Amino acid sequence: MQARLLLEDGTLFTGKAFGSEGSSVGEVVFNTGITGYQEVLSDPSYCGQIVTMTYPLIGNYGIARDDFESIRPYIHGFVVREHEIVPSNWRAEYSLDSLLKEYGIIGISGIDTRMLTRRIRHHGVMKGILTTSNVRVEELLEQMKATPLMIDQVSRVSTKSVYSSPGSKERVVLVDFGSKSGILRDLTKRGCDVVIVPQDATADQIRRLAPDGILLSNGPGDPKDVPHAANMIAELLGEFPIFGICLGHQLFALASGADTEKLKFGHRGGNHPVKDLQTGRCYITSQNHGYTVKEESIAGTQLEVTHINNNDRTIEGLRHKQHPAFSVQYHPEAAPGPFDSSYLFDDFLSMIREHKQNSSAQPRQAQIAAAYQAGGGTPASASKGELHYAEK
């Protein structure tokens, strides 16, 4: 079956369809990873986007249960040069085509992905429509123009209920803006008691979970589309140690008074060089984002830049000068990608322990007694909030 990809500038690509049938509109982006197409497909940060893989052969090792980064894929289309129908790998449980069919995702193969990538790099990311229909190009253009790009991706991919991954060490509240499973894996293998909360959790609701630290996850879209999250972070800043990843990094910057802007074509792939300004060491990182923190907006805030991108000098890491909080634009949990930066999870836990040692908080008994006295000798009635807990 024939499939077509039409860009908003009128560029048309015609190839062979695989996966599902129909039409889908999204922002057309490219990923430079050589492997890891399953992790790319299941990364919630791609919600609403049509993803082009620059590596020419995709599908050759199939789909494996253990390689998912979320419960399901959220992308709006998949573009490859060559689609391998029959995978050749002992771990494969089914094919790429089967996965796309299961979740209603359209795929197109047999087009010049190098030309498409160069066009995006030159003109920037743009809206596109991917279709298996035979309607005229003029009708496709009208359909694409009439379909706005999504701005509610975070609410679509975030958990709706609170759930936990029990551990015996530090309690970390993971705010799910579209979190990859790799983040939870890295926390749990370090023994953390992780509580995952929805993207719209309030500061008070998080306080009631009594965290030792807060991790702000990755997620899709423009950070300015979730202003409630930046407000929540600003309220908790200084009260708990905070670690932000990707979208969490951008929200941490907004909460600290900095600003963000959209990149021309973003950073997506497993081979992006990042320099640590303190040590001078260069790390190869996994990245997936279309927005960045504006360098000039850092002046006048309490933020300092800790990492920069060696390709375009954009900001890749921030640290708060007064409070125990830091963030990175890239993915220390990789998946897919190199594990150069997994040490950041250890840095986060060290920050939590140091904060607890230096904290002048009253003992629990004193806090309970003070609350009892403030209530006139009667137990205070505490609001339970509106968090929905997942049932076992």
Q: State residue 359's pLDDT score.
A: 81
Asked if residue 365 belongs to a domain, the reply is no
Q: State residue 383's pLDDT score.
A: 52
Judge whether 266 is annotated as a binding position.
Answer: no
Residue tagged active-site, from 27, 39, 170, 333: 333
Which residue has tokens 């299961």? 102
* Low pLDDT (below 50) residues in the chain: 380, 382, 392
In this structure, the answer to whether residues 118 and 213 fall within a common structural domain is no
Structural Rg of the chain based on CA atoms: 22
In this structure, the answer to whether residues 262 and 294 fall within a common structural domain is yes
Indicate if 331 belongs to the active site: yes
Q: State residue 388's pLDDT score.
A: 79
Judge whether 303 is annotated as a binding position.
Answer: no
> 88: domain CATH number?
3.50.30.20
In this structure, the answer to whether residues 108 and 244 fall within a common structural domain is no
> 200: domain CATH number?
3.40.50.880
- Which residue segment(s) compose the domain that 74 sits in? 2-150
In this structure, the answer to whether residues 242 and 256 fall within a common structural domain is yes
In this structure, the answer to whether residues 176 and 242 fall within a common structural domain is yes
In this structure, the answer to whether residues 351 and 237 fall within a common structural domain is yes
Q: State residue 387's pLDDT score.
A: 81
In this structure, the answer to whether residues 186 and 135 fall within a common structural domain is no
Q: How many independent structural domains does the chain possess?
A: 2
Q: State residue 116's pLDDT score.
A: 98
Asked if residue 279 belongs to a domain, the reply is yes
Judge whether 22 is annotated as a binding position.
Answer: no
Q: Is the C-alpha dihedral spanning 327, 332, 335, 338 positive or negative? A: positive
Q: Residue 336: is the preceding peptide bond cis (ω within 30°)?
A: yes
Alpha-carbon gap, residue 74 to 179, rounded angstroms? 13
Asked if residue 385 belongs to a domain, the reply is no
Residue 255 and residue 220 in contact, taking contact as beta carbons nearer than 8 Å? no
Residue tagged active-site, from 27, 76, 246, 307: 246
Q: Which of 106, 125, 150 is the last residue of a domain?
A: 150
Residue 26 and residue 76 in contact, taking contact as beta carbons nearer than 8 Å? yes
In this structure, the answer to whether residues 213 and 333 fall within a common structural domain is yes
Q: State residue 31's pLDDT score.
A: 97
In this structure, the answer to whether residues 135 and 274 fall within a common structural domain is no
> Could you tell me how many residues make up the chain?
392
Q: State residue 373's pLDDT score.
A: 79
For the record, the structure tokens of 383 come out as 């609001």
Q: State residue 321's pLDDT score.
A: 97
Residue tagged active-site, from 249, 272, 320, 331: 331
Q: State residue 368's pLDDT score.
A: 75
Asked if residue 28 belongs to a domain, the reply is yes
Alpha-carbon gap, residue 354 to 311, rounded angstroms? 34
In this structure, the answer to whether residues 209 and 249 fall within a common structural domain is yes
Judge whether 278 is annotated as a binding position.
Answer: no
In this structure, the answer to whether residues 240 and 343 fall within a common structural domain is yes
Q: State residue 364's pLDDT score.
A: 67
- Which tens digit of pLDDT belongs to each residue from 133-161? 999 999 999 999 999 999 999 999 999 99
Q: State residue 378's pLDDT score.
A: 58
Q: State residue 230's pLDDT score.
A: 98
In this structure, the answer to whether residues 272 and 177 fall within a common structural domain is yes
Q: Which of 89, 116, 150 is the last residue of a domain?
A: 150
Which residue has tokens 């803006």? 177
